[in-house]
Structure 1
Amino acid sequence: MASSGPSHFEKILANFKKRLSSEHTELFQLTTLDDLKASIKRIQTEQAAKKGLRNLNKIKPFLNGLRQYAEVLEVFVQAKPEILAFIWGPIKLCLQIASKLNEAFDALLDAYEKIGNSLPILSTVDALFCSHPHVKQVLANIFEDILDFHKRAIVFFKHGTWRLTFKLTYHTFSDMFRDILTKLDRSQDLILQSANVAHFQESQDARILFTKQMEVLLEAERNQRKKAVIDWLSSDSSSTTQHQELGQIRNMLPQTTRWIFSQPQMLSWLKRTEYTPCTFWLCGIPGAGKTVIFSSVVDEIGATLPNAQAVYFYCKNKDPLRSHFTDIIKSLISQILQLNPNCLDFIYESMLSYSERRATDASKLLQILEQILSSHDSLYIGIDGLDECSEQERKLLSNLITAVSRANDAQGNVQLIVTSRQEKDLERSLKSAVKFNIREKNLESDITAYITCKMTELCQIFHFTQERKQLITKEICTRPKDIFLLARLIMHNLLSQDSLEDLNEELKFEVLPHGIEEAYGRMLVRIGKAGSSSPNQMEKRRQRAKLVLTLVTTSHRALYKHEIQGALAINLEEQNVDFENRHSRFPLDDLCGPIIQVRQNGIVDLIHPTAKDYLWQYHSGHYIVSSGAEEFMATLCTSYLTFDFLSPGLAGDLFAARVMNGDFAFQEYAACNWFKHLKSLFSNT
């Protein structure tokens, strides 16, 4: 059997210290039993003054058992005073913290009472028996179990959510130490029964096995709880994907957006300067680059503020998963849970108390968010594109701003950054925020850097001379002014040209766009030209591109590229899907040009929200007529759902073949959204 002398106790203590802060280590190492008793007396006096005395008699068996245990250690193990100090010190700390909340104090007293009942009464045991090596091992096990309980308790009380957990339930705390009680009971039986060496060894092996089994069980229970919470929240992950893509874009031009961090308003907000409001409002006209700047701020927080954490959300107009207040709150809660797993118990208990299969109640979700904000020392919340949400949803966001302000007033630990256009309702909601309006002078260097970078790519394709490169760069830089998007649209269009002749046409002074509408117009001119060798092919390609743009702009949620390809393969006249012969052989962003983009997760999206406005308005000659588009989508969805192969009873092998052929690619969207298109159609007529 391994040695169980002082070195073994010191090893257990060293392992315990690894989980402690230096402050707690220093606090515990000089604590005595008399210090603990004095602290208990002070707590009683304070509770009596508040007329809130608790039943401290519950702790007497625990303290008596530990006193006997400490005496045995001093005599038979020659334990150093430091070892005993780390028995009394954690008890003192836990009682002091828990005394701030009656429910927590009662739960801790209950725990100590149960542990006290499981401690062996060493005063009745033969002194000679206590000196046996295998008994010393049991004494070391008891020491390990007591420290293990306090290790868990200290971690529990360390995080701000412990108060919230006790308000909901006791059992989360009691669940933490049920395995410790089992191990203490076994140690008690061994000592009281004066077991032989073989029995001790068998019990020690069983203890090791039990500890491993409990670790696996507790981890499985925690994972099950986490899975239940994640399923309940069902938050969308598109914001994470978009943030990663924006980071990759900025990495190509790392010097861009850096100007924002030299602005006094931003510096004061990041550093939480005294008297600086906790909310920062970054506003600007459409296409000013607010979203890219926002992503830069989020990353800057993680890179330069070592103790800070950031959660964020990118709103998207008419996306059912990214344009509602509940979507924002659910995503923020999910991200906070990932950053701080100690929030799990509170969120889980809240979920059970609300009895909802899915989280849909905005007010309850906001309550959860406001409560868990207290569990962070420094948290930054970011919401991009508030103007992408409806005015009704934006009204609810004022409640979030209020919640953040309350949390910040209480602890000074939460900051909020939002971006949007200047809207009157947002002006009212954000009247107390630090407001920064993006100006032309802020974007000049970023626009020039972007155009210069893209001109290098253009020169590699068309082999310009350095002189012509400089002339073109200079001319293009005069166009965007304070609209970064315009620079992006111009360069995307130029890079998509097939020949030098086409490029020269686009570079003519009277053709090169002066505004966003003109830039979108040039993109529409290009559609159908690329890769087409005859007028007939050009027209067919143009019609297919128009169909894709109709799908993208009219859909009630973001579409994936396989869904769009599935829609292209539908033949309404013949009532079938011919994926092999009808899907586009060209990538969708080649078919439609730079007006659309295919994201990393397969979602097909417009290059910017303003593109939809252009396609639906008179500037484009009503390229897409909204009423006609809704009628087409309603017809497409309802007709597709009546196709024979979607009827019940399709044989298994035929079903598998249909799946592999792509016949079901559009099914999920059509089944979930046909009624929405009909409703939109009727509301417009």
Structure 2
Amino acid sequence: MAANQQTSFEKSLDLFRRELSDDQIKQINGVNQKTVNDAIQEIQNRLGRRGDLCKLTRVQRFLHAMEHIEKLVTIFLNASDFVAFIWGPIKLALMIATSWTDSVRKLIDAYEEIAEALDNLAFFHNLIRSRDHLKLVLEDYFSDILRFHRCVLGVFSRPEWKRFFEWAWGSFRREVKPILKSLKRKQALLSDDKLQSHAILKEVQDSDQCTKDQFSNLHTSLADIRSTLASEQLQSKILQAQEMKTYLESRLDVSKSQTDLQLESRDPVDENSGIWIFSNPVFKGWEGEKSAENRVLFLNGSPGSGKSTLAKTIIRHQKKKEASAAPRRSFLAYFFFKHNATDRRTARSMLQHVIMQLVNADETIMRLAHERLSTKEVTELADLKELASNCFTARPNATLVLDGLDEATGNEQEISIKWCLDKLLPAAATCGCHLKILICGQRDGRLDCILSSYPQIRLDLVDAHQKDIEQFTKDQAANIGARFRLARQEEENLISKVSSASQGMFLYARVVLDNLAAMDSKRDFKDELENDSFPKDLDQAYDRITQRILQNNRPSRDTSVKRILGWIVCAARPLRWREIQSRFCIDADKQICDIENARLDSCKAICSSFVDVTECDLFPNIESEQVVSMVHETATKYLVLNGTVNLLQEHIDMALFCCRYLSSHSFTMSRSQNITDEIRSGYFSFLDYAAAHYALHIEKVEASTDSALTLEAVKQAAADLAKANCRQTSVQTEESHETTQDGNLAIQDNVLVLAKNIHSRTSRCPHSDCFANTIGYASQRRLESHNEAFHHTTTGAKVTFPTGSKTGEWDLYEACKAGDLGEVKRFHRGGEDLKSAGAKAVTPLCAAAEAGHGHVCKYLVDNGVDPFRNKRDARSSRNPITGVINGSHLEILELFLHSGNGPDDSQLAENIARAIHADRPAALNMLLTLRQPIDHADVIKLVPLEIISQTGWRLVRRGSHSIDATLIHAWFQYVKPEFYNEKGVFIAQSDCAEYKIWGDIIFRQLDSFHRALRCGCYSLATFLMDIGNDEYLQIKIENGDTPLHCCIRRLCEGDCSDCMSMVRRLLQYDGGKFANITDSDGSLPAHTALSGCAPQPVLRAVLDNARDINHRDNSGQSPLHKAWSARLIGVLLENKSVDLSSRNNRGQTVFSAFLNDGHVVDVDAFEYLFEADPRLAWTPDESKEGFTPLHHAMKLLESQKLVPYYHQKRIQRVVKFLLTCSEAKRVLMAYEARSTEADRKKVRDFARKEMLQEALDIMDSILFDVVA
């Protein structure tokens, strides 16, 4: 018990230590009650001298309570460290706080509140000493006291804490409130009358006469207090903070998802690229040293060199360091300037994003920012600069990363850098904040001039960066080699040619390789590699693409390319492919949408390497939802400079189109008019972009003086748009901002109403008794599918004649299976039970559903058959819902969801899991959107459990367990959209309160991660690894198994690619960390893999990641002791560091251990080991008996009647091997030294029986059984 208690105390203390600086730990060490009293006297004297007396005697009650805590802790810990951490924080806080009278008074108030909740400690001194259950109370008390100290020091340890005291104290009160409640609840728990009687009796009689019933539930009560208060604390924090954050997001025009999206955007470069930076001396000097000259680092390179990718690598590295360091001691903020994004190219937008990141990281900063901004009607740039500086310097350490500064507009680059260098750095130095700034950009003549005095890393001069490009080229060349069947030398020539010409530019390599991969033939590929054709720089690479997709193409393709590239270049945001397609189809003048104008090829096929296409994670592999953007800003500049894209003309065309489009009759008609035809045609496909960005294109045109005539046309179109939306606006250039704003509001109002109508389901079934008459469909095609499933007539319908079943019977089941509604009705009229499974073990509804007969399903449902509450037969697991999901009969699934009361929450969760397992995204979407659960939280909890429970029988049936978590992410994003960004990337931070709530439920309460791995549900396990932080992924279950242990115990027999993928994913976590964590038996995953006879690929992977291949478990067994077959031993011994002489706790080598434990060991294993080290055959145990392997083998041989025959034969083979091996003489001599005459006689008898003459000769020569 004491050992466990000490571990619990140490855990609380470790958490506290993590939040302290080295200086604070030094100041705390060695502090005791006496030093605190002395410090209080000194403080009182100092305050008295300056005439600022404060009644410090009020703190005595708190100190008295701490004295009892000290006495109770030292009862069974006797550790000075713990004592110092009880008293040290008090001294530290008082010494700091007393420099300001107002703060010390508030601190003493808080101490008094804590003291009130600790006033029963003296009474329970002996009680806690005597009761193990009540020792848990002390553990909780100690934890609460340290939490309180942590909150106190959090206020006073900030740089210039007085500046933030007002806002920090508000956060402090909120954090301390649940601690006080926790202490008071424990106080009430210990104030039970019977517990008090027991304490008195204990003091008087020192006996244990009271019943133990009062203590039996104490542990449970304490756990309830802890969990309840943790939940209350998180909920309180969410409720109080959400309103402020929502206001700040709106005021700063930045959401958390937008800030995270900067980091999560994908790069087409290997994830290991760029790790060289962390060993670069210049970077290490910036990262580690605290000298003023190393606080700014300039990372530069040519356009397309991979600066942004490297910046993201550095940010992720810094975030990981921050997560493992002391909480609340550092800030990390970052911003990526983007020339083609309106909210990413100014100093103002940079400051807004940075402030919002700091707000999300620190509640005190949130309160500060909220107060500052809520008192100003207009936020000037100077206000943002001052606020950002104040926020950044609120913690001892801070890091700011700015990327793409060369992409900032106008003088915004200079404004941003000057703020960093002239304002932020001096402010940080004054406040004692160690600030580091990383600036990434091109050497454009401005940046390098301003930053010339600071350390820099030039990517074009770094060999390791060039090696990354070579590796990228090598990977891509392998794909090209496979496409054109290149010889090895040809592939190597390609790698050399591209790498040497790249000159440090990732983009060059990527563009050239993409262009080569797009060649139509091997001859074209070879021609492109010729010296005259091969591009020498990036512009020439773009030339080659231009020649291929424009000059050498047919006129229609040439037009498509130019129009698409023009739209992408001038667009205010990346366009989806469906939006680009709509521009081809919509004629705003004629007010029609001709779908036949849609391009048949993909955007990538049309525009090649000029564009990037990003999949939408929520709707993967759906081409229309792909996001299209230019491959790089250099491609945009190239197209504009060489005249392929006339940027002004594109803005003119887009402005005219948007104005005419938004002022067309379809947008301005009466709200009561029917717009079904327009919706069906796709006319509104460009609505979202046009409504949001038409004004920007007008502004771009107005800012140009190139064409006055064209400007007038645009202004007239804008005026027509305003007029069409019922607003009188001036067409003069002096047009007021207010009038323009009114026009914009009118347009937005019309668009919102229209959007609501568009998204309604306008295609309704004409049958008034049908569910689809009420709910309708979003498209005519869906309605036609519905009619085909439920309302098809005899005209043109396929006639189905009753053919009977295989048994010759024609019954209700067969009629439903055949889709013969007439026969189904006849059976029903004849008294057949529509709900009964009958002899077939499958219900009629299930038969009809599996066959996709919607009209029969509708009849059965209309007559009272509930698809979600059907009678199940134990003989079959089939049911109607599974049938329609697996068969993708979506119309029938929709019928079921709208029938009766629909599914309850548990049934909804069950069927969501079915859709996920069946890999049916459309069915999943239907389940999520058409049925809203009564309790959303319950369904979220149930879905992972259902996915796990359905895995077992699916694996038996399918023989597969994919690691693809796409649909699970789709489900979770639907129910928790705040955890994902716009591209469907999971971005929830570990310090997010909502994330902690659901993380605790999913990983702790449900134990979903380990359960998923134990049952082979790898898709769920992959999903959990995607969303889990280090704390959750490293949770151990009761037997101490890590996730890797669980996975290895459930591996398929033989080679399984899914199992191998899951193991590899686990091994990749934190550099193979799981491979080096033991379970409660002290066993590594390597032990488990060997004892469970894991497949060789898995075994090798686990062993390769084990840092100590000779680690001994609690019984002293190394992995070698678990390798009981020749195959396993062979794989293990591939590692030359295996200790063949390793012994277990009984002093046995692997030879003896195999035999002593009674393993069914093949003699091949012994032969393999013997070949590696012959001494193992005769080495005795390091034990009192000193038995040798022959002793153990003979002992097994004597008990052979108790084991199966095949085992007997194996044991005999082992004995024969020992007596006939090349070390037989040593074997017999070692045996003789620790045996009786009777023992030796048995060995000789065995040798005679098996006719082992050579062994008998050796016995004679050494006088084996001759008594001296």
Interval of TM-score (by shorter of Structure 1 and Structure 2):
0.7 to 0.9
Are 2:303 and 1:286 equivalent residues in the alignment? yes
1:575 maps to a residue whose letter is Q
- What residue in structure 1 maps to residue 349 of structure 2? 327
Q: For the structure 1 residues 653 and 48, does the alpha-carbon distance in structure 2 shift closer, same or farther, using more than 3 Å as the test?
A: farther
SS in 2 for 1:605: strand
Output the CA distance in 2 between the equivalents of 1:358 and 1:212.
Answer: 43
Are 2:247 and 1:223 equivalent residues in the alignment? no
SS in 1 for 2:644: coil
C-alpha contact 2:355 2:388 (8 A) present in aligned 1: yes
Are 2:293 and 1:272 equivalent residues in the alignment? no
SS in 1 for 2:400: strand
1:605 maps to a residue whose letter is S
Q: For the structure 1 residues 43 and 259, does the alpha-carbon distance in structure 2 shift closer, same or farther, using more than 3 Å as the test?
A: same
Count of aligned pairs between the two proteins: 656
Deviations 1:429-471 (A, max 9, x none): 4243213444468576555555454433322212234454555
C-alpha contact 1:568 1:582 (8 A) present in aligned 2: yes
Note the C-alpha offset of 1:560: 3.5
- What residue in structure 2 maps to residue 666 of structure 1? 686
1:678 maps to a residue whose letter is I
C-alpha contact 1:138 1:187 (8 A) present in aligned 2: no
Farther off after superposition, 138-147 or 489-498: 138-147
2:336 maps to a residue whose letter is Y
1:519 maps to a residue whose letter is A
SS in 2 for 1:492: helix
C-alpha contact 1:569 1:581 (8 A) present in aligned 2: yes
Output the CA distance in 2 between the equivalents of 1:283 and 1:177.
Answer: 47
- What residue in structure 1 maps to residue 640 of structure 2? 616
Output the CA distance in 1 between the equivalents of 2:279 and 2:25.
Answer: 42
With normalisation by structure 2, the TM-score equals: 0.45
Note the C-alpha offset of 1:661: 7.5
- What residue in structure 1 maps to residue 1244 of structure 2? none
Correspondence for 1:392 among 411, 416, 424: 411
SS in 2 for 1:464: coil
Farther off after superposition, 169-178 or 370-379: 370-379
1:315 maps to a residue whose letter is F
Correspondence for 2:539 among 498, 517, 520: 517
SS in 2 for 1:176: helix
Are 2:476 and 1:457 equivalent residues in the alignment? no
- What residue in structure 1 maps to residue 567 of structure 2? 551
C-alpha contact 1:565 1:583 (8 A) present in aligned 2: yes
Output the CA distance in 2 between the equivalents of 1:158 and 1:311.
Answer: 21
SS in 2 for 1:414: strand
- What residue in structure 1 maps to residue 169 of structure 2? 170
SS in 1 for 2:532: coil
Correspondence for 1:435 among 456, 463, 483: 456
- What residue in structure 1 maps to residue 36 of structure 2? 36
Note the C-alpha offset of 1:317: 0.4
2:575 maps to a residue whose letter is L
Q: For the structure 1 residues 662 and 199, does the alpha-carbon distance in structure 2 shift closer, same or farther, using more than 3 Å as the test?
A: farther
Q: For the structure 1 residues 13 and 134, does the alpha-carbon distance in structure 2 shift closer, same or farther, using more than 3 Å as the test?
A: closer
Identity %: 19
C-alpha contact 2:158 2:394 (8 A) present in aligned 1: yes
Are 2:702 and 1:682 equivalent residues in the alignment? yes
Q: For the structure 1 residues 150 and 368, does the alpha-carbon distance in structure 2 shift closer, same or farther, using more than 3 Å as the test?
A: farther
The residue correspondences of 1:143-222 to structure 2 (distance < 5 A) are 144=140, 148-158=144-154, 160-161=157-158, 163=161, 165-168=164-167, 170-182=169-181, 195=193, 212-222=227-237
Farther off after superposition, 581-590 or 238-247: 238-247
Output the CA distance in 2 between the equivalents of 1:261 and 1:207.
Answer: 46
2:558 maps to a residue whose letter is R
Note the C-alpha offset of 1:355: 1.1
Output the CA distance in 1 between the equivalents of 2:528 and 2:577.
Answer: 29
- What residue in structure 1 maps to residue 599 of structure 2? 584
Q: For the structure 1 residues 632 and 50, does the alpha-carbon distance in structure 2 shift closer, same or farther, using more than 3 Å as the test?
A: farther
Note the C-alpha offset of 1:384: 1.6
Are 2:106 and 1:107 equivalent residues in the alignment? yes
Note the C-alpha offset of 1:629: 0.7
Deviations 1:467-488 (A, max 9, x none): 5455555555664446553333
- What residue in structure 2 maps to residue 421 of structure 1? 442
Note the C-alpha offset of 1:143: 8.9
* Larger RCO of the pair (alpha carbons < 8 Å, separation 6+): 1
Note the C-alpha offset of 1:596: 0.6
Q: For the structure 1 residues 167 and 278, does the alpha-carbon distance in structure 2 shift closer, same or farther, using more than 3 Å as the test?
A: same
2:38 maps to a residue whose letter is A
Note the C-alpha offset of 1:676: 1.3
Q: For the structure 1 residues 407 and 575, does the alpha-carbon distance in structure 2 shift closer, same or farther, using more than 3 Å as the test?
A: same
SS in 2 for 1:666: helix
- What residue in structure 2 maps to residue 597 of structure 1? 612
Correspondence for 2:588 among 568, 572, 592: 572
Output the CA distance in 2 between the equivalents of 1:452 and 1:143.
Answer: 58
Farther off after superposition, 670-679 or 409-418: 409-418
C-alpha contact 1:278 1:405 (8 A) present in aligned 2: no
Q: For the structure 1 residues 381 and 80, does the alpha-carbon distance in structure 2 shift closer, same or farther, using more than 3 Å as the test?
A: closer
Deviations 1:647-668 (A, max 9, x none): 587689977x977976554323
Note the C-alpha offset of 1:574: 3.0
C-alpha contact 1:576 1:643 (8 A) present in aligned 2: no
Are 2:16 and 1:20 equivalent residues in the alignment? yes
- What residue in structure 2 maps to residue 351 of structure 1? 370
Farther off after superposition, 44-53 or 170-179: 44-53
With normalisation by structure 1, the TM-score equals: 0.78
Note the C-alpha offset of 1:90: 4.4
C-alpha contact 2:569 2:647 (8 A) present in aligned 1: no
Note the C-alpha offset of 1:677: 0.9
Correspondence for 1:642 among 663, 669, 673: 663
2:409 maps to a residue whose letter is S
Q: Name stretches of at least 5 consecutive residues in structure 1 with no aligned partner.
A: none
SS in 2 for 1:177: helix
Output the CA distance in 2 between the equivalents of 1:143 and 1:240.
Answer: 39
Note the C-alpha offset of 1:8: 12
SS in 2 for 1:497: coil
Note the C-alpha offset of 1:73: 7.4
Output the CA distance in 2 between the equivalents of 1:550 and 1:153.
Answer: 61
SS in 2 for 1:432: coil
Q: For the structure 1 residues 353 and 145, does the alpha-carbon distance in structure 2 shift closer, same or farther, using more than 3 Å as the test?
A: farther
Output the CA distance in 2 between the equivalents of 1:596 and 1:333.
Answer: 33
Deviations 1:325-381 (A, max 9, x none): 24333444555566xx4x223323422442189996544444454345456665543
Farther off after superposition, 295-304 or 284-293: 295-304
2:454 maps to a residue whose letter is A
Output the CA distance in 2 between the equivalents of 1:273 and 1:101.
Answer: 30
Note the C-alpha offset of 1:170: 3.1
Output the CA distance in 1 between the equivalents of 2:573 and 2:49.
Answer: 60
Output the CA distance in 2 between the equivalents of 1:409 and 1:518.
Answer: 51
Q: Name stretches of at least 5 consecutive residues in structure 2 with no aligned partner.
A: 199-213, 617-625, 706-1268
C-alpha contact 1:385 1:419 (8 A) present in aligned 2: yes
Correspondence for 1:626 among 643, 647, 657: 647
Larger radius of gyration: 2
Output the CA distance in 2 between the equivalents of 1:625 and 1:280.
Answer: 38
Farther off after superposition, 133-142 or 497-506: 133-142
- RMSD (Å) for aligned C-alpha atoms: 4.9
C-alpha contact 1:310 1:381 (8 A) present in aligned 2: yes
Output the CA distance in 1 between the equivalents of 2:509 and 2:6.
Answer: 67
Output the CA distance in 2 between the equivalents of 1:519 and 1:312.
Answer: 32
Output the CA distance in 1 between the equivalents of 2:542 and 2:147.
Answer: 62
